[in-house]
Chain A
Amino acid sequence: MSRSPGRKQENHKISRELFVLTYGALVAQLCKDYEKDEDVNDCLDRMGYSIGVRLIDDFLARSAVKKCRSYSETADMIAQVAFKMYLGVTPSVSCNSATGNEFSLILDKNPLVDFVEELPAERASLCYCNLLCGVIRGALEMVHLAAEVSFLQDRLKGDAVTEIGITFLRKPEDKKHRRN
C-alpha cells in the first residue's frame, strides 16, 4: 500500500469517544438489520474474529512479548497487556478449572459500554460486547491456540459483574505427546 509521505502518523491514538460511539453505531445497525439477538451476537462475534486475526500482528509488533509458555501466562497476557493496550483497562484473571484450561476475565470497567445505560427491553439477550469474544478467539488462533470465548456474565443483563470466559481447547495431537 503506497501512500504519499505527507504528515507522519506520530499520533497513533484515536479518541475513546469516537471508538466507543462507532462501536455503538455498529451494534445499532446490526440490531436494525437482524431481528434475533442471537444473530446480532453471531455477527458481532464473526466481525470480532476478523478483527482479531489482524489485530494480533499489531499486538505482537508493539508489545514485543515473548512466547507464552502456559495457558495461564496467555490469559494474563490478554488481560494485562492486550486489554490495557487496546481498551485502557485491565480485567482481573482467575482460573476456573483444575485442568488449567478455563479462565475468566472480570471486567470491572468496560469502555465499550461508556454510553450504554441499559439494553432495550426487546433486546434482552443481546451480548453488546460480543465483538470482544471474537477478537480474542481470532487473535489466539493466529498464535495456534484454539479457544472458546464467551460472556459468562454481563452487567448489562443484570449480573453482578461482566465476565468473559476463555476455554483453551487441547488439540488432539497434545494427547499423543503428553508425558503422563
Chain B
Amino acid sequence: TPVHRGKSPVLERALGRPRSELSLAAFALLFSELVQYCQRRVASVAELQARLAQLGHHVGLRALDALVARERPGRRETKVLGVLLFVKGPLWRALFGREADKLEQANDDERTFYVIEREPVVNTFVSVPRENSSLNCAAFAAGLLEAVLGAAGFPARVSAHWHKGTTLMIKFDEAVIARDKSLEGR
C-alpha cells in the first residue's frame, strides 16, 4: 500500500508571538549530540568547524524570515550599521535569550566587525580539551550569522575566534561597504 504523507497546515497559520522558550539543558544535549555526530565523520578540527558552520547555516536561513516578520514588519535593513544592530539585539535575543555583549568595528578595516560574547549560551555545557582548542559552538553560530547576513542582503564571511570570550568576526564583501557608502552620500 502506498504510504500517505500528511500535510500540516503550518504555512496557513499566523506567525504570532514567539511561543514558549525551551529548556537550555535539552538544547545543550541536542547540540552535544550534533557535535559528536559531526566529530565521528570528520578527520580534522577544520572539517568539524566547517560541518558545524553548515548546520548553523541551515538554521540561520530559516530563522531570519520569521524573525524579521515579527520584529521588523514591513521594513528591511539597508545599512550595515542597521543590520549589525539588528543582529546584536533582536536576533541574538530571539535565538539565545539575550543580546550579544559587544559589537565592535576593526580599527584598520572598514569591512570587518566583531560580535563578542563573553560566555555564549550554546557553550554552556561544552568543555573543550586543551589539545583540541576547537571552536565547536562558535562555528555553529558563525555559520548561522553568515546565513542571516547573506539572506538579508549583506553577504559576508563570518568566522569564530577565541578572543574576549568568543568573537564572531564578520568580513563584509567589498560591494556591501561600497553600497553603504553610496547610500550615505545621498
Contact = CB atoms under 8 A, between A and B. Distances in A.
Interface of A: 1, 3, 6-7, 9, 11-19, 21-26, 28-29, 33, 43, 47, 50-51, 54-55, 58, 85-88, 111, 113-119, 121, 124-125, 131, 154-159
Interface in B54-111: 54-56, 58-59, 62-63, 66-67, 94-98
Contacts of B21: 13-16
A24 B11 CA distance: 16
A3 B26 CA distance: 20
Interface in B39-63: 41, 54-56, 58-59, 62-63
A17 B59 CA distance: 9
B111 to A, nearest CB: 28
Contacts, number: 151
Contacts of A17: 18, 63, 66-67, 94-95
A5 B26 CA distance: 23
A124 B96 contact: no
- The interface residues of chain B, by DSSP majority, are classed as helix
A159 to B, nearest CB: 7
Contacts of A14: 21-24, 26-27, 96-97, 121
